[in-house]
Structure 1
Amino acid sequence: GRTAVVVELDERPAAVLAVGDTVRSGSWRALHRLRGLGLETVLLTGDGPGAARAVAAELGIERVHSSASPERKAEVVAELRAAGRTVAVVGDGVNDAVALASADLGVALASGSDAAIGAAGLTLVRGDIEAVVDAVRLARQTLATIRANLLWAFGYNLVLIPLAAVGLLNPMLAAVAMSLSSLLVVGNSLRLRTWEPGRGQRRGQGQGQGRGRRKGGRR
Structure 2
Amino acid sequence: RSDSIAALERLHNAGYRLVMLTGDNPTTANAIAKEAGIDEVIAGVLPDGKADAIKRLQSQGRQVAMVGDGINDAPALAQADVGIAMGGGSDVAIETAAITLMRHSLMGVADALAISRATLRNMKQNLLGAFIYNSIGIPVAAGILWPFTGTLLNPVVAGAAMALSSITVVSNANRLLRFKPKA
Q: Which runs of 5+ in 2 are unaligned?
A: 146-151
Q: 1:170 aligns with which of 136, 139, 153?
A: 153
Mean alpha-carbon deviation: is it higher for 153-162 or for 184-193? Answer: 153-162
State whether residues 23 and 44 of structure 2, in contact with CA within 8 Å, keep that contact through their aligned partners in structure 1. yes
Q: 1:97 aligns with which of 53, 64, 74?
A: 74
State whether residues 17 and 39 of structure 2, in contact with CA within 8 Å, keep that contact through their aligned partners in structure 1. no
State whether residues 8 and 106 of structure 2, in contact with CA within 8 Å, keep that contact through their aligned partners in structure 1. no
Give the fraction of aligned pairs with identical amino acids, expressed as a percent.
47
Q: Secondary structure at the match of 2:48?
A: helix
Task: Determine the C-alpha separation between the residues in 2 that align with 1:62 and 1:148.
Answer: 33
- Aligned AA (1:170): L
State whether residues 70 and 93 of structure 2, in contact with CA within 8 Å, keep that contact through their aligned partners in structure 1. yes
Matched, 1:87 2:70: no
State whether residues 25 and 129 of structure 1, in contact with CA within 8 Å, keep that contact through their aligned partners in structure 2. no
State whether residues 161 and 174 of structure 1, in contact with CA within 8 Å, keep that contact through their aligned partners in structure 2. no
State whether residues 143 and 153 of structure 2, in contact with CA within 8 Å, keep that contact through their aligned partners in structure 1. no
Alignment of 1:179-190 (within 5 A): 179-190=163-174
Task: Determine the C-alpha separation between the residues in 1 that align with 2:76 and 2:154.
Answer: 55
- Aligned AA (1:50): T
Q: 2:88 aligns with which of 105, 111, 117?
A: 111
Task: Tell me the TM-score normalized by structure 1.
Answer: 0.76
State whether residues 42 and 62 of structure 1, in contact with CA within 8 Å, keep that contact through their aligned partners in structure 2. yes
Can you list the C-alpha shifts for 1:83-137, whole angstroms capped at 9, x where unaligned? 2111100011111111101001000111211121111110100222211100011
Q: Per-residue deviation at 1:70?
A: 2.3
Matched positions, count:
176
Alignment of 1:1-219 (within 5 A): 24-168=1-145, 169-172=152-155, 173-198=157-182, 201=183
Aligned CA distance change for structure 1 residues 171 and 71 (closer, same or farther; 3 Å): farther
Q: Secondary structure at the match of 1:180?
A: helix
* Structure with greater proportional helix content: 2
Q: Secondary structure at the match of 2:135?
A: helix
Q: Which runs of 5+ in 1 are unaligned?
A: 1-23, 202-219
Task: Determine the C-alpha separation between the residues in 1 that align with 2:106 and 2:126.
Answer: 32
RMSD in angstroms over aligned alpha carbons?
1.4
Task: Determine the C-alpha separation between the residues in 2 that align with 1:125 and 1:154.
Answer: 38
* Structure with greater proportional strand content: 1
Q: Per-residue deviation at 1:167?
A: 4.8
Q: Per-residue deviation at 1:174?
A: 2.7
